[in-house]
Amino acid sequence: MRLELKDRSDEEAIKVFRENLENLLLAPPAGMMTVLAIDPGIRTGCKIAVVDETGKFLESSVIYPFQPKNDEAGARKTLAALIARHNVQAIAIGNGTASRETEALVRDFLREANLSHVFSVSVSESGASVYSASDIARQEFPDLDVTVRGAISIARRLQDPLAELVKVDPKSIGVGQYQHDVDQRRLKQSLEATVESCVNRVGVDLNTASWALLRYVAGITERTALKIMEYRNDHGKFRSRVDLMAVPGFGPKTFEQAAGFLRIRGGDNPLDMTAVHPESYPVVEKIAASLGVSIHDLIARPESIEKVRLEGFKTESVGMYTLGDIREELRKPGRDPREKFVAPQWREDVKEIADLKPGMVLEGVVTNVTRFGAFVDVGVHQDGLVHISELANRFVKDAGDVVKVGQIVKVQVMNADPKAKRIGLSMKALAAPPPPAPKPKAKPSLESQLASLSTKFRVK
C-alpha cells in the first residue's frame, strides 16, 4: 500500500513539474533585439552584459550604484555609454537581490535621458548561476567570469526563453514541487521528453541555435549537434536545409526526422523557414502553380491557400492529413506559435514586503503552480501565494486549470508578514461574482392542480 501511494504521489508531482516546465519554456520571447542585461548586486556591484540581436556577447561592465560606494552618477554614465555604443533596445534586470532598486534606477535614468525607445523589464534569474558554472557556459565563454556569464544568460532569456533555458538542468529552474523526493529516473525522462516536445513545437533556427538546443531536435544527438556547430563555424550560415547532408554523420534518416523542425531565415528556399518538410516541397510547388503564383508569393499572401481544393493533390504517398498540415502551416508560414511578449507593470511604490498593504491591487507574474495554489511575483523579491480557494469564484480542483507559469495576472493583497516573509494574495477578490442562481419556480398548490385537471378532462 505504501509503495502504491508513493508511486501515485510521484506521478502527480512529476505531472505538475512537467506542466510548469512546459509553460515556462513556451513563455513569449521578446525577439531579436540588442539587450543590455543587469545582474543586480549591492556590495559586489551590478554586473552588466550586452548581447546583440543574435545573442552574441558584445561587452561587459560593472556599476556600483548602492552601498557602500553609492556611485549612482558613474552608473548612469556607464549605462548611457553602453546604450549609445551598441544601440541597445531593451534592458533586462535579474529579479534577485536589489532588483527593484536597480529597476527604479534604470527607469529614472531612461526617463531623464529621454530614451523612450528603450524599455526595461524584470527577468527571472532562476538557474542562471547554475548555468554560469556549467560545462556548457565554460565552452561558450571560456575567458569570462561566472558573473558575466550569468548576466549574458539573463539577456538571452529575454530574447528567447526556450533557447536559453534548455542549457539549464530543469530541476534548477525553480518550478514544480518535491522534485528531490520523487523517482529521479522517471522525473529525468519526463522532463527531457517535455523539453524535446517544446523545442520541436517551436522549431529551431539552424543558423543561430546552440548545440545545447539542437540536441533536443528529433533525430539529432549531442554528437551530431556539435558537428552542425563545427560545420557552421567553418562554412558560414546554412543557405538551405539540403546543406545539412554535407555535415559529417548527418545521414538520410537523420535528415528525414529533423529537417522539418529546423528553420533557415533568409535562405535560398522560402519554404526552409516554415515547418513544411522538404519531402513535401513538390506538393507546395504544385499548389503554387495551380494558383499561378510563385512560392514567394504564396508565403507572402497566405490567404490565397484558401482557394485551393486539396483533394486534387492527393497521391499514394501524400494523404489528406499531410495536405491538411501543409495548409495549416502555409496559413501562418514561419510564425512563432508562442504568444506575444508583454512585460508586467510593477507598482513604483512597492519595493519590499513592508510596502504591501491589505487591499492593494497589483500586477504580477505566475512563477510556480502547485496542487494547493499558485505563487506570484509582485515585484518584492518574495513570491506571494494565491491559495487554490482564492483563484476563482468557483470550485477549482486543479490550479493549472486557472493559471499557468509565466502568465501575467492581477491580484489583491490579503496579508503580508515581513518577518515570516509570507504574502497572501487573492484573484477571487478581483473576479466578477458568479451570476445568481435562478430562483426555483413556485410549485403550484394541490387545489390549483386539481382545478386544472378538472377543466382539462371535464371531470364531473
Tens digits of per-residue pLDDT, 223-238?
A: 999 999 999 989 988 9
pLDDT for residue 415:
94
Supply 32's cell numbers: 531579436
Q: Are 76 and 132 members of one domain?
A: yes
- When pLDDT is averaged across residues 160-169 and rounded to a whole number, the result is 90
Q: Is the pLDDT confidence value at 403 over 90?
A: yes
Q: What is the Cα gyration radius of the chain?
A: 28
* Structural domain containing residue 242: 188-331
CA distances from 283 to 183, 256, 350 (A): 47, 17, 58
Q: What is the CATH number of the domain that holds 405?
A: 2.40.50.140
Q: What is the CATH number of the domain that holds 268?
A: 1.10.150.310
Tens digits of per-residue pLDDT, 251-271?
A: 999 999 999 999 998 888 999
Tens digits of per-residue pLDDT, 79-94?
A: 999 999 999 999 999 9
Residue 153 lies in a domain: yes
CA of residue 455 relative to chain centroid, distance: 70
Q: Are 412 and 311 members of one domain?
A: no
pLDDT for residue 404:
92
Residue 440 lies in a domain: no
Q: How many domains does the chain have?
A: 3
Residue 181 lies in a domain: no
How many CB atoms lie under 10 A from the CB of residue 436? Answer: 6
Quote the mean pLDDT of the chain. Answer: 88
Q: Are 210 and 319 members of one domain?
A: yes
Q: Are 327 and 358 members of one domain?
A: no
Length of the chain: 460
Last residue of a domain, one of 108, 142, 159: 159
Q: Are 276 and 361 members of one domain?
A: no
Q: Are 192 and 318 members of one domain?
A: yes
Are 415 and 423 a contacting pair, CB within 8 Å?
yes
Are 373 and 385 a contacting pair, CB within 8 Å?
yes
Residue 439 lies in a domain: no
% of residues, the chain, pLDDT over 90: 47
- When pLDDT is averaged across residues 412-429 and rounded to a whole number, the result is 92
Give dist(CA 95, CA 383) in Å, integer: 11
- When pLDDT is averaged across residues 70-79 and rounded to a whole number, the result is 92
How many CB atoms lie under 10 A from the CB of residue 395? Answer: 7
Backbone angles phi, psi at 387, to 5 degrees: -65, 150
pLDDT for residue 439:
67
How many CB atoms lie under 10 A from the CB of residue 142? Answer: 7
Are 165 and 157 a contacting pair, CB within 8 Å?
yes
